Amino acid sequence: MTRQYSPKTFLRQSPNPVLQQYFHANNLALDVDWKCLTPRRIDPLFDAIEALPDEARESVERDFRLVFGMATPKGRLLFIEQGEIRSIDLAERLSHVENHYEAAMVIFLEHREVFEVASCVNEMHLLGHWRKRWVGKGLHATTEPEQIAAFEDAMQGIYKKQGRGRHCHVDRYERRDPLRFCYFAYPEDFPTSDIEYDDQHNFGRVTRHPAMENAFVYDPQAGVVEISATGPKKHKEALAEAFCVHILGLKTLPPENGLPRITLEPAMNPSFSFPIEPEDGVVRMEFKTIRLDYPCAEQMQLTVKIKPNGTPNAIHALMRDKLGLMRNTLRPLYPSQAKIVVEFEPANGRRGKRMTFQVTSPDSCGLGDDPHEQIARRILKRAGITND
């Protein structure tokens, strides 16, 4: 379920000391008796914020929305990860906070760079339109400003063919476990306009120049770059080539035949099970659907679907018992697509996370980059379904 920001809920969840620290750090004096505030009685604080001058009130709301977005278990893990990259022990610092809201506010106030990078990486998890491209293992992902500037110029050139992309900005970040180098590109989109009020409360049409968000994630161990961008394959290949040339130092984009492949052939074994290890923290992982393609029969497919319930090899039993597909009958059929359900162990007194994703042969995987999805990726690799 998507979390929705609510000012009063945010104030109830955020401990008073860290809120006081925020307003003190921003030189905002509020006519509030902090000792009288409780999670059930936050209206005086809410009213005091509403009474601030427009610019100050809007700044507070922007900050609180940013903090709210990172006040999650995933946000805390990203803070710790980015702290490790900068040799800052944030695990110890955050071990004494009351909840995720306080953790996010503490990092916002005390380690702003860590907060901003972690926020950007968190947004990456929400992006779609991912395309995976094999480019080669162990390549150096540049940090040189000149090469990053050349990549920005190349992005502008690609998007100018569409009548946009007059400007472009690129940020570089690092991830751990596994090591990944992330580049976020923000080419300028088509200008647009809205009917709105400006800062002086004048009503009229205001022109905006929004930025698109493209992400490039290079995994040197797997030799793969994943690209999040909208557009056809030809467009994404142009973006991939610009990334390879200017960021990875290649002469051109490597041929696509090196792309790590996805195969669902292991799933055709009636005794197949996902190789879950204790450290994965996974309760169960099973197929929800398997799509079978008939050989030499164009557009002829059969999709087998079950309601996952934890029964081992349930989908194989369905194929065998209900459809009459015995093992020797299954062999000629080609498994081309599957939906997989993963359920994780409960954490912090809450139900375990449950997610469903799709894999399609030969090269499409619906998993993203957050910690739970990385665990699922590792299990797929152990199972022989992916090799990256």
Q: Which residue has the tokens 């920001």?
A: 5
Asked if residue 374 belongs to a domain, the reply is yes
Do residue 307 and residue 348 come from a single domain?
yes
Distance from C-alpha of 289 to C-alpha of 223, rounded to nearest angstrom: 30
DSSP string, 206-220: EEE--B--EEEEEET
- Residues 19-39 have pLDDT tens digits of 999 999 999 989 888 888 888
Do residue 231 and residue 155 come from a single domain?
yes
> CA angle at residue 349 from 346 to 353, to 5 degrees?
35
Do residue 147 and residue 231 come from a single domain?
yes
Do residue 286 and residue 313 come from a single domain?
yes
Do residue 102 and residue 174 come from a single domain?
no
pLDDT at position 189? 93
Question: What value does the mean pLDDT of the chain take?
Answer: 87
Q: How far apart are the first and last CA of the chain?
A: 30
pLDDT band of 260, cuts 50, 70, 90: low
pLDDT at position 2? 61
pLDDT at position 297? 45
Read off φ and ψ for residue 311, nearest 5 degrees. Answer: -70, 125
Asked if residue 1 belongs to a domain, the reply is no
Distance from C-alpha of 57 to C-alpha of 4, rounded to nearest angstrom: 19
Average pLDDT over residues 300-329: 70
pLDDT at position 319? 74
pLDDT band of 267, cuts 50, 70, 90: confident
Average pLDDT over residues 349-353: 83
- Residues 79-93 have pLDDT tens digits of 999 999 999 999 999
Q: Which helix (H) or strand (E) holds 55?
A: helix 54-70
Contact 152, 185 (CB under 8 A): yes
Asked if the model's pLDDT at residue 99 lies above 50, the reply is yes
Asked if the model's pLDDT at residue 62 lies above 90, the reply is yes
Do residue 23 and residue 74 come from a single domain?
yes
Tokens of 99: 């909840």
Asked if residue 181 belongs to a domain, the reply is yes
Neighbours of 25 (CB within 10 A): 11
Amino acid at 261: R
Distances (CA, A) of 109 to 22, 59, 82, 245: 7, 14, 15, 38
Instruction: Using alpha carbons, select from 388, 386, 134, 376 the residue that is nearest to residue 265.
Output: 386
* Percent of the chain residues topping a pLDDT of 70: 93
Asked if the model's pLDDT at residue 328 lies above 60, the reply is no
- Residues 4-19 have pLDDT tens digits of 899 999 999 999 999 9
Do residue 170 and residue 209 come from a single domain?
yes
Final residue of a structural domain among 227, 258, 289: 258
Asked if residue 249 belongs to a domain, the reply is yes
Domain count, the chain: 3
Distances (CA, A) of 54 to 22, 61, 320, 339: 18, 11, 67, 49
Asked if residue 214 belongs to a domain, the reply is yes
Quick one: DSSP state of residue 352? P
Instruction: Using alpha carbons, select from 267, 269, 262, 265 the residue that is nearest to residue 286.
Output: 267
pLDDT at position 305? 85
pLDDT at position 122? 87
pTM: 0.70
pLDDT at position 372? 87
Cross-strand pairs, 194: 206
pLDDT at position 78? 92
Distance from C-alpha of 157 to C-alpha of 186, rounded to nearest angstrom: 13
Q: Helices in 222-313 by DSSP H: which ranges? A: 233-246
Contact 76, 121 (CB under 8 A): no
Asked if the model's pLDDT at residue 259 lies above 70, the reply is no
| Domain with 154 in it | 130-258
- Among the listed ranges 6-15, 102-111, 350-359, which one has the minimum average pLDDT value? 350-359
Do residue 63 and residue 158 come from a single domain?
no
Contact 379, 278 (CB under 8 A): no
Average pLDDT over residues 271-298: 83
Final residue of a structural domain among 124, 159, 183: 124
pLDDT band of 326, cuts 50, 70, 90: very low
pLDDT at position 197? 80
- Residues 369-381 have pLDDT tens digits of 788 888 999 999 9
Distance from C-alpha of 74 to C-alpha of 380, rounded to nearest angstrom: 22
Amino acid at 169: H
Asked if residue 177 belongs to a domain, the reply is yes
Asked if residue 362 belongs to a domain, the reply is yes
Asked if residue 2 belongs to a domain, the reply is no
Tokens of 8: 């009063």
Final residue of a structural domain among 258, 288, 308: 258
Asked if the model's pLDDT at residue 296 lies above 60, the reply is no
Q: Estimate to the nearest angstrom the gap between the alpha carbon of 258 and the chain centroid.
A: 25
> β-strand 192-197 against 130-134: which pairing, if any?
unpaired
What b/e readout covers 212-224, taking b as 16+ CB neighbours within 10 angstroms? bbbbbbbbbebbb
- Residues 329-341 have pLDDT tens digits of 445 577 888 999 9
Do residue 138 and residue 245 come from a single domain?
yes
- Residues 188-244 have pLDDT tens digits of 999 888 888 877 778 888 888 899 999 999 999 888 898 999 888 899 999 999 999
Do residue 251 and residue 275 come from a single domain?
no
Do residue 86 and residue 168 come from a single domain?
no
pLDDT at position 87? 93
Do residue 165 and residue 99 come from a single domain?
no
Asked if the model's pLDDT at residue 327 lies above 60, the reply is no
- Residues 165-183 have pLDDT tens digits of 999 999 999 988 788 999 9
pLDDT band of 281, cuts 50, 70, 90: very high
